[in-house]
Chains A and B, each alone.
Chain A
Amino acid sequence: MNGSKPKKVYFYGTCLVDLFFPDAGMAGIQLLREAGVEVVFPEGQTCCGQPAFNCGYWEEAREVARTQVALFPQDLPVVLPSGSCAGMMKVHYPELFHGQPDEAKVRAFSARVYELTQFLVDVLDVKLKDLGEPVKVTWHSSCHAVRDLGLKGEPQALIGQLAHVELAPLTREHECCGFGGTFSVRQPEISAAMSCDKAADAEATGASVVLSTDGGCLLNVNGTLEAKNSKLKVQHVAEFLWERTRAR
């Protein structure tokens, strides 16, 4: 990319965003377009393969991963509205394909992968203008976004650009919300205990929205808050940012 900002990127929706948070996906695409980037959304996207990878079924994960890598042939950045799936593609694909005939090809793909907020801050250096009403939000760190992918506060930096948004710190921000993919159904009792604590911590901040960069965490915390009829809502950070910066 020679230091200049890319004009064109691929967008990878991820299965959870595709199915449960399409608005977040659309918002991510709009944010990129707003920053002057052309967005290519290849047909045939399914899943990054993380569930099978994490459960030890690597052959199955590889079969699926191969079909996904093939969708992004050009040397363009691949942007994902998910820290977890970005971490899978960027960090774990090279592990998954270690010693495979197509390892080099996959590594080249992995090197082009970015999480959305990472791309907006680190590559595009976007400046957001807040057009919304004053609001208080809190931030839940996705474990995989921070610990696998190595996100370094990019989402918070973007939220910080919004003049009328107060970011209330979440106690134990970095503690897992209890989703963990299959963990949530294999260990429902422990997962529930973790989710309920996370929901209670979020409520205690006095914020009206919990933001995160991961569909899994959002689905989990949302389900828990809804089950206890909480007034607190969850929202994907992309959708939140897009709403705030768009004149109504």
Chain B
Amino acid sequence: MHAETEVHFRDAAAKALLDPQLRANFRRAMDGLITKRKAQFPDPRDLQDLRDLSTAIRSRSLLNLPELLEQFEANCTKNGIKVHWAETCEQANELILGIMQAKGAKTLVKGKSMVSEEMHLNAFLESKGIEALESDLGEYIIQLDGETPSHIIMPAIHKNKDQIARQFSQKIKDAKYTEDVDELTAMARKVLRQKFLDADAGLSGVNFAVAETGTLCLVENEGNGRMSTHVPPLHIAVMGLEKVVARLEDVAPLYAILTRSATGQAVSTYFNMITGPRGAGEKDGPQEVHLVILDNGRSRIYADPQLRATLRCIRCGACMNHCPVYTRVGGHAYEAVYPGPIGKILTPQMEGVGVRHDLIHGSSLCGACGEVCPVEIPIPEILVRLRREATHEDLGSTVAGKGTGRTATEDWAWRLWAGVTKRPVLYRIATWFATRFGKALPAGAPLIKNWTQSRTKPVPARRSLSERMRAEGGPHA
């Protein structure tokens, strides 16, 4: 399994690297996002204060997660929101199907929700004869092409204007070809407006779930989230169980750091707070609100004090925007719902560290992700931890698939390395050979071959530093 999947990310990435359009699209987009975020944080101290506060809020929420979830459920119920729990994605899908069937709902219009991507909800509903339409412009664009999001905030960021113009002219009825962004947006809006009005049900994600009030908070820019949650008679929200915070006042700092980190906006265009179905005498809003809370491995991650930090994530996407690997290969190369640095730690924890061994090793550990993360998730440290988990069964953890990424070759190589490196005499002999014959090593030798794909062969110096210090007879211990 491991040898097979190892090539996975490398191959997909290598293919992506050959697409100059894709590389240009990502580089331009990511450079833009980095600049915009930077402009939002002119004072590094203010940024650090806000990060400290946000990290503390998320950590505290997780520390009290079971109690907060209970409180949240009770308050939601009090507000008239029907709460459902799902351990697996299959269960969550079935729950949603059941909710829709009970109301006789046949069409669903969706706001953006990464959890529903995690569940592969659209494909599931389609197989049951239910139409699910994405209403976020980016999601709508990729849905037209049968693609998955390549970024958690900007799902269609891999496409440029021309590509979208071509796609719209082919796939939207009566659409003419135009590269004018406003016209393109208007085209999508026209299709979606009618869908909002006609849909039997609307689905949304949840950015923050407030325990003390039983409120669902939704951050969005297009107004489609509001349309999806207010116009259809039935609203179904889905969230991962880690999304809960204790108090309403916890939301403000998280919201402030989320929009700034994500798109470089001080505030988003819309911020929705949903506290239940339409009340008596109210003019709008759904008649029923359901909430599906998904586990899908989260409680296992929660059980580990170090890995728990993964659940602090507020899905801002800053780690991918700043990742030198993501910037070059784009989101699809990861072949995972969550791409980029957060995906590299989250996906293996959900799917198993052996199965996604390829992702764990797809990082140079440069640390840019950890440096930028607004809730200070130590992504590189967690990657190294997962690399240990993948090769060790006996670390006493609850990590899925631990030990299954181990190969005899790698094991042997590290043992050999340690055997030589801890014995100065052997090490000295090895460096002596390297300095004398390093030049003669064939450029086609296994690891050297990978190196020399794009670089000249490194040639050791004629005399090592240790040798020169010995020859110098300088002060030795």
Contacts and interface: CB of A to CB of B under 8 A. Distances in A.
Interface stretch (B101-109, B128-136, B356-364): B356-364
B36 interface: no
Closest 4 CB pairs of A and B: A180-B364, A223-B455, A56-B387, A192-B454
Contacts of B370: 147
Contacts of A196: 454
A124 interface: no
A143 B368 contact: yes
A43 interface: yes
A60 B415 contact: yes
Contacts of A44: 424
B464 interface: yes
Contact of B424 (A10, A41, A43, A194): A43
B13 to A, nearest CB: 5
B418 A20 contact: no
Interface string B459-477: 1110111111110001111
Given A64-B422, A176-B368, A185-B447, A55 B469 contact: no
Interface in A13-28: 13, 17-23, 25-26
Contacts of B450: 184-186, 188
Interface of B: 9-10, 13-14, 17, 23, 324-325, 328-329, 361-368, 370-371, 381, 384-392, 410, 414-415, 417-418, 421-424, 427, 431, 434-435, 447, 450-461, 463-470, 474-477
Contacts of A6: none
Contact of A147 (B14, B371, B424, B466): B371
A189 interface: yes
Nearest to A224: B455
B461 A55 contact: no
A42 B465 CA distance: 12
Contacts of A175: 324, 366, 368
Nearest to A223: B455
Interface residues of A, number: 74
A194 B458 contact: no
B14 to A, nearest CB: 4
A180 B365 contact: yes
A43 B428 CA distance: 10
A13 B477 contact: no
A67 B455 contact: no
Given A46-B422, A56-B391, A186-B361, A25 B384 contact: no
Contacts of A29: 469, 474
Contacts of A197: 328
Contact of A46 (B367, B391, B427, B468): B427
A22 B328 contact: no
A144 B361 CA distance: 17
Given A58-B388, A187-B362, 14 more contacts: A18-B431, A19-B431, A29-B469, A41-B475, A42-B477, A46-B427, A54-B365, A56-B388, A180-B365, A183-B361, A186-B10, A194-B364, A223-B454, A223-B458
